[in-house]
């Protein structure tokens, strides 16, 4: 984009940060940053310096910690959910193999039984003994060939029976292992869910204790903190370096994310009516034809890392030292993300949270 357009959109994002509640992690997780420039800070009137404001800052900090812990637990929940899907699919495939193997084993046993019954009908003598009792040379030669064929067939049948039994035993062991993993994953998911619900309930209880005017002032404080963080990030001149155009897939991912603006955050959600942070980014890239990991932590671990100054629209920005939040970069210093419970998918400044790094799904 041109310099003029870049400046206008960057300014627009700054104004959004100043006059709206961008949501956590965008605001609830952001740490106070250096004082913004006079131009930026004039957008939001300063809050009165009173004891109650200090109390509100303590509330904001507490909410930040609660929602951050909920975000970490959500990542653990999502990871356990993905593992459960994979393990369940593997168990289904193993079950199919066990059924097929059992059918094969039954068939082999029937064939072995038929061979035994045939031997019984010939007087119980093996083919070799019957061969030695014949006086006809031509019959002897024909019989010799049949004996060799029979020996090979019997040996092959026994070998196949043995291999099939071994396969069935291994399939059973593998299925048992997957069941154990599935059960462990269920416990992990249940523990994560319990923690999520506990942290969110504590945050909601804390917010419910505020009067209407206090809530409004808390929102103003959150917006001011977000503005300070975004302004400090922009003041580094980072946008002067970021000028790469989006890829075809990146444009599709941005279009998907943009269409979700206004939908509520729900932990563990992957759409279409609600999302959590990594649910939004993974679905955005899925819509662009690129499968990526479900969780923000795995997106950080598995996807190629890109320098911040080289990022382009569609790239994912990973936030916080524990990679507990992710957003889709849409250009000109802004992101689209699903912030936290109680908020909706929204446009925010890319610098409103501490950036861990950037990853590119279609590198």
For 117-154, how does the pLDDT look when each residue is reduced to its tens digit (9 = 90+)? 665 565 554 554 454 445 555 555 555 455 455 555 56
pTM score, whole prediction: 0.66
Q: How far apart are CA 178 and CA 180, in angstroms?
A: 5
**CB neighbour burial string for 54-83, b if at least 16 within 10 angstroms, e if fewer:** eebeebbeebbebbbbbbbbbbbbbbbbbb
362 or 160: which carries more pLDDT confidence?
Answer: 362
Q: How far apart are CA 70 and CA 193, in angstroms?
A: 9
Task: Mark residue 184 as left, alpha or beta (left: phi above 0; alpha: psi -120 to 50; beta: remaining).
Answer: alpha
Q: How many helices (H) and strands (E) does the chain have?
A: 10, 6
Cα of 220 vs its chain's centroid, Å: 33
Residue 23 vs residues 120, 259, 339, 349: alpha-carbon distances, Å: 83, 18, 5, 11
pLDDT tens digits along 255-296 = 999 999 999 999 999 999 999 999 999 999 999 999 999 999
The predicted structure's pLDDT at residue 121: 60
Q: Find the catalytic residue in 17, 68, 277, 305.
A: 277
- If one counts every other C-beta atom within 10 angstroms of the C-beta of residue 228, the result is 24
pLDDT tens digits along 208-258 = 888 888 888 898 999 999 999 999 999 998 888 888 889 999 999 999 999
The yes-or-no answer on residue 305 being catalytic is: no
250 or 173: which carries more pLDDT confidence?
Answer: 250
Average pLDDT, the chain: 78
The predicted structure's pLDDT at residue 186: 86
The yes-or-no answer on residue 325 being catalytic is: yes
């Amino acid at each position: 984009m041109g310099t003029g357009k870049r400046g206008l959109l960057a300014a627009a994002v700054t104004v959004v940060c100043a006059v709206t509640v961008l949501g956590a992690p965008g605001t609830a997780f952001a740490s106070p940053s250096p004082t913004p420039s006079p131009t930026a800070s004039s957008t939001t009137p300063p809050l009165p310096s009173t004891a109650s404001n200090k109390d509100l800052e303590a509330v904001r900090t507490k909410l930040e910690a609660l929602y951050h812990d909920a975000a970490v637990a959500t990542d653990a929940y999502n990871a356990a959910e993905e593992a459960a899907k994979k393990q369940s699919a593997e168990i289904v495939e193993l079950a199919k193999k066990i059924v097929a193997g059992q059918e094969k084993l039954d068939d082999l046993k029937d064939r072995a039984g038929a061979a035994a019954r045939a031997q019984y009908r010939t007087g119980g003598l093996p083919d070799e003994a019957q061969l030695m009792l014949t006086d006809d040379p031509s019959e002897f030669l024909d019989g010799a060939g049949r004996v060799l064929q029979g020996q090979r067939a019997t040996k092959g049948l026994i070998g196949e029976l043995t291999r099939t039994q071994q396969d069935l035993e291994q399939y059973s062991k593998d299925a048992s292992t997957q069941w154990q993993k599935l059960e462990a994953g269920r416990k992990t998911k249940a523990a994560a869910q319990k923690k999520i619900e506990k942290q969110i309930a504590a945050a909601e209880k804390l917010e419910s204790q505020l009067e209407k005017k206090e809530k409004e002032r808390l929102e103003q404080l959150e917006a001011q903190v977000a503005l300070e963080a975004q302004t400090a990030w922009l003041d580094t001149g980072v946008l002067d370096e970021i000028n790469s155009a989006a890829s075809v897939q990146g444009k599709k991912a941005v279009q998907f994310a943009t269409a979700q603006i206004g939908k509520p955050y729900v932990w563990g959600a992957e759409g279409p009516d609600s999302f959590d942070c990594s649910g939004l980014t993974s679905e955005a890239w899925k819509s662009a034809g690129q499968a990526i990991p479900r969780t923000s932590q795995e997106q950080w671990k598995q996807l190629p890392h890109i320098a911040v100054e080289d990022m382009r629209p569609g790239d994912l920005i990973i936030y916080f030292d524990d990679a507990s939040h992710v957003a889709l970069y849409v250009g000109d210093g802004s992101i689209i993300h699903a912030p936290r419970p109680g908020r909706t998918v929204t446009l925010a400044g890319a610098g409103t949270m501490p950036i861990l790094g950037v990853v590119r799904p279609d590198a």
